[in-house]
A = this chain, B = another copy of it.
């Protein structure tokens, strides 16, 4: 019934999730290694670490959001197709570059260049996520609830990408405007789902969801 090469074994999807969890857990934890302990005595020697700490907080929130979304998205998948596997691998690759641009952002004290690199690094997983969502929407469960989910999630994804894209020119005015755009997307994804539904979903009656 499934296309040649697809895996329909029940725990197959679980393993894709487990591998993704592993990669995301490492990405999120590697970033804390940038917080290097100062040799100098006294807690005041910790102050110069603040840009690295703020960059860590932002990127932690960002990767956490991807984990939450990824978790929800794969909840609508049904079979593990080659397309799903490789778009998932592409998403993980783009996310794996976050520790680099986070370190760069923190070490260069939110300079214009560092903020630009950071925003670009944020855009690439957003695009990879769209690809993955397309794969899941095409081969996953086709219930009313799933279609509603994909619709709302797709609109949120477009809105987030637009805010990032807006952040790039704003960074030329001030890096903090660019960071504000990144932070805005983060806050906006962390709001309870029900609030966002009202923004990004048509008035479809929640029939049987």
Binding site for B on A (CB under 8 A): 3-5, 7, 9, 11-12, 14-19, 21-30, 32-33, 35, 37, 39, 41-43, 46, 57, 60, 64, 67-68, 71-72, 75, 82, 85-86, 89, 92-93, 96-97, 99-100, 103-104, 107-108, 111, 113, 116-117, 190, 192-194, 197, 206, 209
> Once bound together, how far apart are the Cα atoms of A177 and B35, in whole Å?
27
Are A24 and B19 in contact, with the CB atoms below 8 A? yes
B residues in contact with A32, CB < 8 Å: 30, 96-97, 99-100
| Given A7-B71, A19-B24, A42-B113, 11 other A-B residues pairs in contact with their CB atoms under 8 A | A4-B206, A5-B197, A12-B71, A22-B24, A22-B26, A23-B29, A25-B25, A28-B96, A32-B99, A60-B96, A64-B86
Q: Is the CB of B28 within 8 A of A25?
A: no
